[in-house]
Amino acid sequence: MGKLTNRHSVLTGFNSASSTVKVNGKTLIRLAAMGFGNEQAANSVCNSIKSSGGSCIVRSVGGNKPVRLASR
């Protein structure tokens, strides 16, 4: 998550998983950040990413599992 934490320091300290795909000749990286205490915390980080030009969505993985944030 190094490059993304340089761009979005709000992601520092969260666990993550990423995948890279090519679509129409462009390389896209999908990042899932994990470890938010609740949906409100994840939405706060997502809003920060959006305000600095990134994009993201917040999703819950269900039950009492943690909320995840996906960003590109």
pLDDT in tens, 28-54: 888 888 888 888 888 998 999 899 888
> What is the pLDDT, as a whole number, of residue 44?
92
- Dist CA 25 CA 38 (whole Å): 37
Q: What is the mean pLDDT of residues 1-23?
A: 78
Alpha-carbon distances, residue 45 vs 29, 53, 65 (angstroms)? 18, 13, 18
From the list 23, 22, 8, the residue with the least C-alpha distance to 70 is 8
Indicate whether 68 pLDDT > 60. no
From the list 62, 45, 66, 65, the residue with the least C-alpha distance to 54 is 45
Q: What is the mean pLDDT of residues 2-29?
A: 81
What are the residues facing 15 on neighbouring strands? 34
pTM of the entire structure?
0.68
